[in-house]
Amino acid sequence: GIAPALANALNAQGITNPFPIQIATLPDALAGHDILGRGQTGSGKTLAFGLALLTNISGKAAKPHKPLALVLTPTRELAQQIDEVLTPLARAIGHDSVVIAGGMPYAKQITAMRKATAILVATPGRLIDLLNKNEVQLDQLQITVLDEADQMADMGFLPVVKEILDQAHLDGQRLLFSATLDRGVDSLVRQYLKNPKTHSLQNDRASVSTMEHYLLVMDPSEKDEVTAEIAARNGKTILFVKTQRGADRLADKLANAGVPVGALHGGKSQAVRTR
């Protein structure tokens, strides 16, 4: 049921095997129903909502400042990842996408709105800023996607998300994806989704059954050496620490031990985080 140009673009990118969540949600989403999707990161949600979004706006023209589609995400990095997936597919049907997020220059985002860009992939804070400046108007919005709504709730974004949805086109289609429905996500569903079709899927690849867990008991004096050994093993490693300063300190210790390392946290500039 997706637009032929989209099917051709998918084939050109070698995307031929759909995820279960795409198979489950796409028929209802393409039929115009609101969707409540329960799925973890990595379960194929981007194409699940992306193909519906792009099919929904295929053949429609955006006006300056008035996008046709909106994807709200909790972080800049996730917004950029989604945009990278959507942009080549959007261009196949004559549309373009822009990331609207903090930590990035205003000028490019405002220029995109004035050029009638159809698709916004946005974090709530920067979007409400541009709405207040009247650079973005949501009265022509055909479809709205809330991705990782539970993470947006954790970050305290729900009041802003509600303010955004209150400005959106009332009859537009809405798709909400969340791993859980607590911390206020359930109120979003009740208030803003119309008789949603619910699809709950777990991502088998992220299941605890596929992981091995270890607890290392050691003398504090051994911790730096053991950490360096873990970080230097074959493959890629993520080490989670408590604070930004702790992340920088650990990165310095690993670098001094000869381990290629980078620190990633909110105190870094967007350019450094992206790199």
pLDDT of residue 133: 94
Which tokens go with 214?
Answer: 């270890």
Q: What is the DSSP string of the chain?
A: ---HHHHHHHHHTT--S--HHHHHHHHHHHTT--EEEE--TTSSHHHHHHHHHHHHHTT---BTTB-SEEEE-SSHHHHHHHHHHHHHHHHHTT--EEEE-TTS-HHHHHHHHHTT-SEEEE-HHHHHHHHHTTS---TT--EEEE-SHHHHHHTT-HHHHHHHHHHS-TT-EEEEE-S--TTTHHHHHHHH-SSPEEEE---GGG-GGG---------GGGHHHHHHHHHTSSS------SSHHHHHHHHHHHHHTT-------TTS-HHHHH-
Amino acid at residue number 192: Y
pLDDT of residue 248: 95
pLDDT tens across the length of the chain (275 residues): 666 777 777 777 766 565 555 667 888 988 999 999 886 655 567 888 888 899 999 989 999 999 999 999 999 989 999 999 999 999 989 999 999 998 888 999 999 999 999 999 999 999 999 999 999 999 999 999 999 999 999 999 999 999 999 999 888 999 999 888 877 899 999 999 999 999 876 554 445 567 788 999 999 999 999 999 999 999 999 999 999 999 999 999 999 999 999 999 988 887 788 78
pLDDT of residue 266: 84
158 Cβ neighbours under 8 A, 6+ residues apart: 152, 184, 187, 188
pLDDT of residue 165: 96
C-alpha of 238 from chain center? 20
pLDDT of residue 1: 64
**Residue 112: C-alpha distances to residues 2, 10, 165 (Å):** 26, 25, 21
From the list 113, 127, 222, the residue with the least C-alpha distance to 168 is: 127
Q: Note whether 58 and 93 are within 8 A (CB).
A: yes
pLDDT of residue 205: 47
C-alpha of 227 from chain center? 31
Which tokens go with 244?
Answer: 């930004």
Sheet of strand 69-72: strand arrangement: 97-100, 119-122, 69-72, 143-146, 173-177, 35-38, 197-200
